[in-house]
Copies of this chain bind each other. A is one copy, B any other.
Amino acid sequence: MKIILAGSAGFCFGVKRAAKLALDSSEKFHQICSLGPLIHSPQLVKKLEEKGVKVVERVEDLPEGAVIVRSHGLTAEEFARLSERDLTIVDATCPFVKKAQDYASQLSSQGYAVILVGEAEHPEVQGIVSYVAGSEVYVVADHEQAEKLPSRSKLGVIAQTTQSFKNLEQIVAVCLRKGKEVRVFNTICDATTVRQTEARDIARKVDLMLIIGGFNSANTSRLAKICQDIQPHSFHIETADQIHPEWFADVDSVGITAGASTPRWIIDQVLDRVQEMTK
């Protein structure tokens, strides 16, 4: 049995940084909460809870002490309310997400109608949207939604950092027909592109593909979709115990990748389980 593990599987720069900030803070502060789950990995969130980092959903419900801002960032309004409280703020917002927030603010102050390529419900997207002040903003998930955009003279396009490049490309093509000027900041994180490209390459070569990551993780779900389109025998799993031995019947090669929020120890557990099952 041949097993190919993607070199790009797992934690990206922003998640690694957030996890480190959270772990360091758990030792440093007596009382520390995370505003929303730190990243979309229920397993890491649980581990942090064991170290005393409690998840609180609303600013109002935060106790005294320190608060950690999750990697996806907050809305401008949440950040303002947070700053009003007498709390120590540990900002683990991914620097690439912060950049997208800055572009949103810059484009809106320069009179562009802002088009954000992403999923409307995702906290990162809601955060970025909140930095558009004084101009229109539209969140579009795909080129079909983009077709419904109104025509505007100046369109500014940014993307959720974990979007696929193909999706951005298709939406920009539609925007070119909607506005005389189209200004695009490609805010897709390189790590996402590298991970998706590597996943595609591996999926083409193997009989079975495993994609590891939180079921609530948008980037992992997108990664699974990319693999499934190439190799229908692809499975999105969160942990090693979700692997079924019958998947390996008539399988000579297995590819493994993982989303940006998947901790290394979970990848290792999956790797061990696959090796055991296919011995």
Contact = CB atoms under 8 A, between A and B. Distances in A.
Contact of A181 (B165, B168, B177, B183): B183
A180 interface: yes
Nearest to A155: B184
Contact of A180 (B172, B177, B185): B185
Interface in A168-193: 168-169, 172-173, 176-177, 179-186
A1 B176 CA distance: 39
Interface string A71-108: 00000000000000000000000000000000000000
Interface residues of A, number: 15
A36 to B, nearest CB: 28
A182 B184 contact: yes
A179 B183 CA distance: 12
Contact of A173 (B172, B179, B185): B172
A177 B177 CA distance: 20
A37 B112 CA distance: 40
Nearest to A173: B169
Nearest to A174: B169
A12 B182 CA distance: 25
A138 B102 CA distance: 29
Contacts of A169: 173, 176
B172 A165 contact: no
Contacts of A185: 180-181
Contacts of A183: 181-184
A261 B10 CA distance: 59
A176 B168 contact: yes
Contact of A176 (B165, B180, B181): B165
A18 B245 CA distance: 76
Interface in A26-48: none
A180 B193 CA distance: 13
Interface string A148-161: 00000000000000
A180 B161 CA distance: 13
Contacts of A182: 172, 183-184, 186
A184 B186 contact: no
Given A176-B186, A179-B186, 16 more contacts: A165-B176, A165-B177, A169-B176, A172-B173, A173-B173, A176-B184, A180-B185, A180-B186, A181-B185, A181-B186, A182-B183, A182-B184, A182-B186, A183-B183, A183-B184, A184-B184
5 contacts: A165-B177, A168-B176, A176-B186, A180-B185, A181-B186
4 A-B pairs closest in CB distance? A183-B183, A182-B184, A169-B173, A181-B185
